[in-house]
Amino acid sequence: MFKQFMPSEHAKSIFDIKADELKAKGIKGIITDLDNTLVEWDRPLATPELIIWFEEMRAQGILVTIVSNNKEIRVKSFADPLQIPFIFEARKPFRRAFHRAAAEMGINREETVVIGDQLLTDILGGNRGGYHTILVVPVAKTDGFWTKMNRRIERRILRYLKRKGMIEWEDNN
């Protein structure tokens, strides 16, 4: 059961994920969470550094789609200026939004990576859908109410996985 929560990889931040490394693994597309994965949950727009990251992905031919459980107004106002496709109210960890995002990018799950900061939504949903998953450290130390609840559960899961020797990185949550 706990294997469903195990990410394929772990990264300190989105900026540690490089286009050339993804391409070497046959990755053609990224499904990424928005809040606390790309930017702080209360930051309305992309940072200059994030814009450069998106441009590098685009230049290398890697497609990006944002899949968020947040409301349309939040995701649209962030994604539209960047011309990045998005799915809002995704109901992660259910698989449907992940499959829809991959289909809209015209790629299969073996060519897709799911990136997110939460085990209970991003990683669980990506793993259930059969995608390669990358867990990143949350951008902000603060969260909304429901995410705070998830983080408590995630800390327990991470401690268990670490105790069983299933993870080797430091718990930064």
| pLDDT tens digits, one per residue of 35-66 | 999 999 889 999 999 999 999 999 999 999 99
Q: What's the confidence (pLDDT) of residue 12? A: 95
Q: How far, in Å, CA of 76 to CA of 88, rounded? A: 8
| pLDDT tens digits, one per residue of 58-111 | 999 999 999 999 999 999 999 999 999 999 999 999 999 999 999 999 999 999
Residue 85: cis peptide before it, omega within 30 degrees of 0: no
Give bridge partners of residue 66 from the DSSP assignment.
32, 86
Q: Are 73 and 53 in contact (CB under 8 A)?
A: no
CA 134 from chain centre, in angstroms, equals: 7
- Location of structure tokens 């996985």: 161
Q: What is the CA radius of gyration of the chain?
A: 15
> Greatest CA span in the chain, whole angstroms?
44
Q: Are 73 and 54 in contact (CB under 8 A)?
A: no
Spell out the domains of the chain, with CATH numbers in brackets.
2-163 (3.40.50.1000)
Nearest to 117 by CA among 41, 54, 59, 22: 41
pTM of the model: 0.88
